[in-house]
A and B are shown apart, each in its own frame.
Chain A
Amino acid sequence: MTALTRRCFGMLAGAGVASLAAPSFLRAQGAPHVVIVGGGAGGATAARYIAKDAGEAINVTLIEANPQYTTCFFSNLYLGGFRSFASITHGYDTLAANYGITVVNARATAIDRQARAVRLADGSRVAYDRLIVAPGIDLIYDSVPGYSEDATGIMPHAWKAGPQTQLLKSRLDALEDGQQIVIVPPPNPYRCPPAPYERASVFAHVLKAKGHTGSRIIILDPKPKFSKQALFSEGWEKYYPGMIEWYGPDVHGGIKGVDPAAGTVETDFDTFHGALVNVIPAQRAGRIARDAGLADDSGYCPIDPASMRSMMDENIFVLGDAAIAGDMPKSAFAANSQAKVAAMNVRGDLIESKVFPARYANTCWSLIETDDSVKVGAQYAPTAEKIASTSSFISQTHEASEVRKTNYEESLGWYAGITADIFGA
């Protein structure tokens, strides 16, 4: 353990560690080691909760490929001009400085489950007693024929927040009146079910604000219905009459492919041209999880509903978008909720702290127009087969504008709350 930890230390110093709480590090040399791959909504929450609740009894290392994290949640608000890019970007300094978490800014390339170690891009290894895998999603570019990683510069997906989101915004802002936007949403299951439709709403908000009455937004959906459909449809009718056209497969007959150079999307029914085409391809668990054999044929990772422990390896927990979380949607709220269950079970494994029954929750707010936000939420409990919904709610159509405005203010509060809960405050 000591030798490994020292090796770790040397490697970390070279790899650009945000900060290292040296005294607690030295004191905690004999302590068990938890490694977390992925510092997003799920992984960073898990790291913080383990470090916060176990103190020096557990060493926590968080491995994250990027030095900063831009949240997908609220990235649509950035596209709509409601938030700045800086306000949705977060660093790892507080986790390192206030919680003594060793933050390693590196990409994990493999998990050696036999030896219980994670390999990093520079070839070094980090040993673990328990591993939490929270890499989010990978996009399956060729799920849309003609689309590819190269094509993302022309037809941005912006389904991982960062430069893609900035590119999409600059393309949106450069549109002229009369030009058309085409959105190709993903098939189920995917990250954040209402988000493609919230995105259509903020696109329309931007066009309307510029007085682009001649512009249209065409949504070519591979799904016959979508999340919060009645609420979005009502809102589009109210705020953006005639601007947003949604077509399901019964109308377009199936998406045959895209031609990035021509800016077209071909369906059985017709070929659509967009001055801006936003393609959101199908998704699966992040590669590191699949390569380690933690996923099943669905491309996502089965877990024990009571603990988020991998069904493939009892020393590993998988959470967030990469996991098969039963009735829970793939959301930051859900990932954050699952992380707390996993963190408690990891502590239970390693330092025999008390393990309470798992509880999960989710709420997603979606902005339709300024001061008009709708929400959907549910609570969940583990059953033998899955994480199952126990109670739920959804906003109603024809609600008073005051209710919708309060929802919006609540969503701002949620964002401040969850980002403090993920990254520390």
Chain B
Amino acid sequence: MLWGRGLSGFLFAMVAAAAASAAPPEPEHGNRERGKTVFEACNGCHQVGAGARHGIGPHLDALFGRRAGSLDGFRYSSAMRRRGKDGLVWDAATLDRYLQKPRRMVPGTRMSFRGLSDKRAREDLIAYLKAATASAPASNPSAPSPPRPEIGGAAMAIEGDAAYGEYLAGECVTCHQRSGRTDGIPSIVGWPREAFIRALFEYKSNVRRHQVMSMMTANLGNEEIAALAAFFSGLDPQ
């Protein structure tokens, strides 16, 4: 505990120096190390650190001070873009509020994260993000990530038939809304092709565990998964 305070004091000084422009200095309580563990719930969708790119979620580099919904090349929900236009800027206070219950602060956000009710976990995560997001973003954050051939490689090599994907998508949109809204089930609209393919293979092979998804992916072959990825990656959230 004492050690924690000491570290956060150090962090506070560091952050305050880095963000001298932010008017009232924000108190800093989080533990960066613990925050890194908390971030494991986020890194399936968000990349951070030098060379981070957009994935299912936008990359988080240079997050602090960034206007919400403002990065090029990422397809935000209209709700998030609107909040950014209305002046929402990410800082420790706004992130704290958002992470507590994303859908309450930005109804209509595509981020399918229920929220972190534990205040300390949020502080830890924010402390981690402050340090980790300080690097410069990749030069072209929307470029596809280098392929990871170990999972879904064969499907990634196929050029998916979006028309077939649209038919197959009938099975998905019973739960995952076509509009991109999330109401308890994640949005899959506008996901990058490879992220989509990888996720389905992860469900198929039980790397990601979910009863409905492992059943739904059981009968999907490479053609089908490539077709679905082609269809959903081509959609814009409403």
Real binding pair: yes
B216 an interface residue at 8 Å Cβ cutoff? yes
B183 touches A416 (CB 8 A): yes
B212 touches A363 (CB 8 A): yes
A412 touches B183 (CB 8 A): yes
A381 an interface residue at 8 Å Cβ cutoff? yes
Q: What's the least CB distance linking A317 to chain B, in Å?
A: 16
B178 an interface residue at 8 Å Cβ cutoff? yes
A425 touches B211 (CB 8 A): no
Give Cα distance in the complex from A354 to B167, angstroms: 10
Give Cα distance in the complex from A356 to B167, angstroms: 8
Q: What's the least CB distance linking B63 to chain A, in Å?
A: 27
Q: What's the least CB distance linking A381 to chain B, in Å?
A: 7
Query: Contacts A410-B185, A413-B184 given: A418-B175 contact, CB under 8 Å?
Result: yes
Q: Which residues of B contact A361 (CB under 8 A)?
A: 171, 174, 215-216
Q: Which of A394-420 contact B (CB under 8 A)?
A: 395, 409-414, 416-418, 420
Q: Which of A328-348 contact B (CB under 8 A)?
A: 333, 336-337, 340, 344
Give Cα distance in the complex from A340 to B168, angstroms: 10
B163 an interface residue at 8 Å Cβ cutoff? yes
Q: Which of B159-178 contact A (CB under 8 A)?
A: 163-164, 167-168, 170-171, 173-178
A417 touches B167 (CB 8 A): no
Q: Which of A300-346 contact B (CB under 8 A)?
A: 333, 336-337, 340, 344
Q: Which residues of B contact A420 (CB under 8 A)?
A: 177-179, 181
A391 touches B212 (CB 8 A): no
Query: Contacts A344-B167, A356-B164 given: A413-B211 contact, CB under 8 Å?
Result: no
A227 an interface residue at 8 Å Cβ cutoff? no
Give Cα distance in the complex from A359 to B114, angstroms: 31
Q: What's the least CB distance linking B183 to chain A, in Å?
A: 4
Query: Contacts A410-B184, A417-B185 given: A391-B176 contact, CB under 8 Å?
Result: no
Give Cα distance in the complex from A392 to B212, angstroms: 9
Give Cα distance in the complex from A413 to B187, angstroms: 10
B168 touches A359 (CB 8 A): yes
A379 an interface residue at 8 Å Cβ cutoff? yes
A414 touches B171 (CB 8 A): no
A375 an interface residue at 8 Å Cβ cutoff? yes
Query: Contacts A359-B171, A361-B171, A416-B181 given: A375-B212 contact, CB under 8 Å?
Result: yes
Which bracket fits the contact residues of B?
20 to 34
Q: Which residues of A contact B164 (CB under 8 A)?
A: 356
Q: Which residues of A contact B114 (CB under 8 A)?
A: 409
B215 touches A417 (CB 8 A): no
Give Cα distance in the complex from A395 to B216, angstroms: 16
A413 touches B173 (CB 8 A): no
Query: Contacts A410-B184, A416-B184, A420-B178 given: A377-B215 contact, CB under 8 Å?
Result: yes
Query: Contacts A425-B178, A425-B179 given: A414-B185 contact, CB under 8 Å?
Result: yes
| Residue in chain B with minimal CB distance to A403 | B211
Q: Which residues of B contact A391 (CB under 8 A)?
A: 215, 218-219
A20 an interface residue at 8 Å Cβ cutoff? no
**Among A340, A375, A412, contact of B184 (Cβ-Cβ < 8 Å):** A412
Chain B, residues 194-212, CB within 8 Å of chain A (1/0): the string is 0000000000000000011
Interface centre among B171, B174, B214 (most CB of A within 10 A): B174
Q: What's the least CB distance linking A194 to chain B, in Å?
A: 16
Query: Contacts A377-B211, A379-B218 given: A414-B175 contact, CB under 8 Å?
Result: yes
B100 an interface residue at 8 Å Cβ cutoff? no
B47 an interface residue at 8 Å Cβ cutoff? no
**Among A344, A393, A417, contact of B177 (Cβ-Cβ < 8 Å):** A417
Give Cα distance in the complex from A381 to B224, angstroms: 15
Query: Contacts A417-B177, A418-B175 given: A340-B212 contact, CB under 8 Å?
Result: no
Q: What's the least CB distance linking B202 to chain A, in Å?
A: 17
**Among B167, B171, B179, B183, contact of A413 (Cβ-Cβ < 8 Å):** B183
Closest 3 CB pairs of A and B: A413-B184, A413-B185, A416-B183
Given contacts A395-B211, A421-B174, 18 further A-B contacts (CB under 8 A): A340-B167, A340-B170, A356-B168, A378-B215, A379-B216, A390-B218, A409-B184, A410-B185, A410-B212, A413-B183, A413-B185, A416-B185, A417-B175, A417-B176, A417-B177, A417-B185, A418-B174, A421-B173
